[in-house]
């Protein structure tokens, strides 16, 4: 199956453990940091227009010629993204081996956003879409509403049986 057909939200590790939820939120924060344009408001997605009025085609395709101030800003942003990615890697390496492998795979997949000046118009756009954000919100809500302790105890109990 082609990578573009797999929703990025389906790759988000699912867990109710607070450490994992916190790491998922930090990964989402990293992805939001890579964003160059805000997500459209849900009411905007209902409109029939495919163009956002504030964007020219040049900026949509990345053909815009950046000024020296833009270049300095982009470099600063790339350094912030690199620092955030390194921090995520450090936190991931603290996990138990079976979870570490899962999260290292996730970090490998999402770190591709650093390769594009405008990830919203790149093959990496699925990682910064609303679907992924909503999936993570539902995961956190479920952990809070269902009672993390009960679900975590159930996971531990199943391992023992």
**What would the pLDDT profile of 74-104 be if each residue is shown by its tens digit?**
889 999 999 999 999 999 999 999 899 999 9
Please state, in angstroms and as integers, the Cα–Cα distance from residue 94 to each residue in 19, 100, 111, 138, following that order: 10, 8, 19, 25
Q: What is the pTM of this model?
A: 0.70
Residue 147 is predicted with a pLDDT of: 61
**What would the pLDDT profile of 28-81 be if each residue is shown by its tens digit?**
999 999 999 988 877 765 554 444 444 443 444 444 555 677 888 888 999 999
Domain boundaries, given as residue ranges, for the chain: 14-36+68-160
**What would the pLDDT profile of 126-137 be if each residue is shown by its tens digit?**
899 998 888 888
Confidence category of residue 4, pLDDT binned at 50, 70, 90: very low
20, 152 Cβ separation under 8 angstroms: no
Alpha helices in 35-129 (DSSP H): 42-45, 57-61, 68-92, 97-110
Q: Residue 34 and residue 77: Cα distance in Å, rounded? A: 8
17, 94 Cβ separation under 8 angstroms: no
């Amino acid at each position: 199956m082609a990578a573009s057909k797999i929703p990025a939200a389906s790759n988000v590790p699912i867990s109710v453990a607070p450490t994992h939820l916190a790491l998922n939120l930090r990964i989402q924060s990293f992805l939001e940091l890579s964003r160059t344009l805000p997500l459209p408001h849900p009411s905007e997605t209902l409109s029939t227009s495919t163009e956002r009025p504030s964007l020219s085609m040049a900026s949509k395709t990345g053909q815009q010629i950046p000024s020296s101030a833009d270049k300095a800003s982009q470099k600063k942003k790339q350094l912030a993204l690199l620092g955030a990615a390194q921090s995520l890697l450090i936190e991931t390496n603290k996990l138990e081996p079976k979870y570490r492998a899962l999260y290292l795979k996730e970090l490998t997949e999402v770190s591709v956003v650093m390769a594009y000046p405008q990830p919203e118009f790149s093959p990496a756009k699925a990682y910064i879409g609303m679907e992924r954000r909503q999936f993570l919100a539902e995961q956190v809500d479920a952990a809070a509403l269902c009672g993390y302790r009960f679900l975590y105890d159930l996971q531990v109990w199943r391992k023992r049986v």
